[in-house]
Amino acid sequence: MIITPLAGTAPLQKDVWQKVNNRLLAKSLAELMHEQVAQPAILSADEDGRTCFQLATDQAHIHYTFAGYKRQLDYWHIEADSILRHDNDVAAVATDAPLFFVELQHTFGISSFTLAHYVEELLHTLYADAYLLAKGRLKAGQLAQADYQTVEHQMDGHPWVIVNKSRLGFNYEDYRRYAPEANQTIQLNWLAAHRSRAAFRSLDHIQERSFFDQELGEATIAEFNAIIAGYGVDPAEYTFIPVHPWQWNNKLLMQYAADITSRLIIPLGMSGDSYSPQQSIRTFYNNSQPRKHYVKTAISILSTGNIRGLSPKQMAIAPRVTSWVLNMLQQDAYLRQLGLVLLGEVATVSYTHPYYHAIVDPPYQYKEYLGVLWRESATKYLQPGERIITMAALLYVDENNNSLVGELVKRSGLTTEAWMHAYLNAYLKPLLQIYYQHALCVTPHGENIILVLKEDVPVRIIIKDFVDDIVLTEEAREKLPGELAEGMIASSNKENVPLFILLGVFDAFFRYLGNVLHAYAGYHENEFWQLVYDVILEYQAAHPALVQKFEKYDLFVPEFKRFYINSVRLLGNAYQEKTSFAIPRKGGTLQNPLYAIKQQAPEVSSYNNHEIV
């Protein structure tokens, strides 16, 4: 008798499991200290800044010690191999992340209900980390010359979120097929949806029939229409929705059984194109024809804090918001000069569930099971000699402690300072213009920004997934057409502090990038922040008409609020069902790195021999 091993155990080797646990502990300590949940005692501090800590647990005979280096924005670069667990004075390298949280439950103030759910997310995240490590993470030099999708599938997940790959709802087979790091292609299932329940919406110049002809091809459309007609109904009364295979198997088949029975939904089968899941898990890149649209589908798993369906309210307004934003920004000569691209969300289909939509304020996920959004492909905007990578890749550090950003600098032939200046021109200046000129806030973290490189140097950015994350300042709301206002988020920033930049850019990305440059690329963090300061002055000098905005929304304030993401999950009611997405909490204060630089700067500073007031 030949016994076949159970599937899925290949990544579960002891050395791999211990290493990913140890690394997740380092990340957990850094983020929990940043969010003021973990408050260890300082044991010692060396002249070079290396600081040793001790963290007590719920039990007197158990504590943890570790070492790290202080960075800007109250961030600590924790040395993973320094983390020791002490049990009755016996010390061993800490290699059990879930045990850490169990042992600090009461110290941190976590309820038992929350802790059980959180440990489940931890274990799923650890499995994904083990899968990536066992499969073999690419060397930074290899990744620096890899194609867009290879880079996408090597990413480690959101740097801010501890449980960043939990994906509750996936079993191992699902994980192996649909996780981006599994690097598999899939085909999407297609449904015909009756127009009494479904609505196709698009930019004004897009016609539904020609849109599907381009996405599916006339032959596939003819096959689909023949299937629909075979049920004795008129194909003209239906539109098409591609759905994630997981969603079909786990939600749609049973939750929409009545509509399938009555032929309001007709299963059609798979289209010919193959797709690749992106970091965001529910968005797909067309591998067969890269210039075709990204397809964003609903997939009702819990991932990075929320269940990843598609909001009917957002689907209803996405093309109109795209049109409004693009019309406004395309008239901006400065943004055109910078080469900024916002990937339009050009078409959507949303489907109304007969029961859940009739319930007043149900948990949000019940209204978000079935829908689709098509987003433009970045590939069609590339000029000769250009290539693209996700900006999240700039935080990549390989197993030999070599950074991708360091490798790109080497390949470019530039100094690190010149390369970083090019990067800040490409990334930061468009965001400043969007905010100060147009009063818009998008979500500019690493996964939402695509860097365009030429000869390994950043030349411009492409922003994706911006529509449902736009936050309106008071000025933007005044400009917005009334019919769109209700579907968008209004800023609660009463202090007029530019949190879009301070939190969304500085804390959410530059905090990590500065550490990677300092620890792995030989470029001091303070030099990086000085460069950020100089580039902001360059932007302000080029836009004297906005001086009142610069004063009202001051980027050089002494401090700004912290953003609590992990602690909201740990200390709040994150696992109770809600009528809307969970929103991280703001509070406390962070010291602004730019304030200290401004205090030390003369009234007239210079950069590259150009005076900047």
Q: At what angle do helices 525-542 and 511-520 cross, to 10 degrees?
A: 130
d(CA 71, CA 31): 12
pTM of the full structure: 0.95
What is the SS3 assignment for 303?
Answer: strand
- Considering only the C-alpha atoms of the chain, give the largest distance between any 2 of them, rounded to a whole number of Å: 83
- Which region among 241-250, 459-468, 531-540 has the lowest average model confidence (pLDDT)? 459-468
Cβ distance 45 to 51 under 8 Å?
yes
DSSP category for residue 248: I
Cα Rg of the chain (Å, integer):
25
| CATH fold of the domain at 14-141 | TATA-Binding Protein (3.30.310)
What is the SS3 assignment for 156?
Answer: coil
Q: In terms of C-beta density within 10 A (0-12 exposed, 13-18 middle, 19 or more buried), how is residue 137 classed?
A: middle
DSSP category for residue 509: I
Identical fold for domains 14-141 and 382-557+592-612, yes or no, is no
Domain boundaries, the chain: 14-141, 185-379, 382-557+592-612
Six-digit token pair at 45?
Answer: 């501090």
Could you read off the pLDDT of 445-503 as tens digits, one per residue?
889 999 999 999 999 999 998 766 666 666 666 666 666 666 555 555 566 789 889 99
Q: How far apart are the first and last CA of the chain?
A: 81
| CATH fold of the domain at 382-557+592-612 | Transferase(Phosphotransferase); domain 1 (1.10.510)
Strands (E), 155-293: 189-194, 198-202, 238-243, 265-270, 275-277, 283-286
Could you read off the pLDDT of 179-238 as tens digits, one per residue?
999 999 999 999 999 999 999 999 999 999 999 999 999 999 999 999 999 999 999 999
Cβ distance 246 to 170 under 8 Å?
yes
Sheet holding 189-194, edge to edge: 238-243, 189-194, 265-270
Which amino acid, one-letter code, is at 484? Answer: L
How large is the average pLDDT for residues 360-369? 96
